[in-house]
């Protein structure tokens, strides 16, 4: 099971696994931000905001590198034939 999950993350053709990592990190950042805001803890809110911002950026990068790049590479190969 672990090997299958690792393989899906690294080589998933469906494109769901790599961006999911950033999405989970973004969820954790949003939870930290909400807890920090609710408890009037500026430090926790700032940390949550930073984690959320980095995760959103990472999700976009992982989506581009892991999904879109392979998609366009296959299209370019098909167009050359």
Assigned domain for 6 exists: no
In a domain, 3, yes or no: no
Q: How many domains does the chain have?
A: 1
Is 43 part of any domain? Answer: yes
Alpha helix locations (H) across 1-81?
2-11, 17-38, 42-63, 69-80
The range of the structural domain enclosing residue 28 comes to 16-80
HSE-CB of 47 using CA atoms within 13 angstroms: 9
Assigned domain for 9 exists? no
- Does the residue 5 lie in any domain? no
Residue 1 lies in a domain: no
According to the model, what pLDDT value does residue 13 have? Answer: 58
How far apart CA 51 and CA 35 sit, in angstroms, is 13
Domain-located, residue 8:
no
Distance from the Cα of residue 6 to its chain's centroid = 15
pLDDT of amino acid 2: 76
pLDDT per position as a tens digit, 7-28: 666 665 566 677 788 889 999 9
Whether 52 maps to a domain, the answer reads: yes
pLDDT in tens, 26-64: 999 999 999 999 999 999 999 999 999 999 998 888 877
């Amino acid at each position: 099971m672990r090997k299958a999950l690792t393989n899906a993350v690294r080589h998933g053709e469906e494109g769901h696994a790599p961006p999911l990592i950033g999405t989970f990190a973004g969820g954790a950042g949003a939870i930290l931000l909400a807890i920090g805001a609710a408890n009037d803890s500026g430090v926790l809110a700032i940390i949550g905001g930073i984690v959320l911002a980095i995760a959103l950026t990472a999700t976009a990068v992982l989506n581009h590198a892991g999904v879109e790049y392979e998609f366009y590479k296959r299209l370019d190969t098909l167009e050359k034939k």
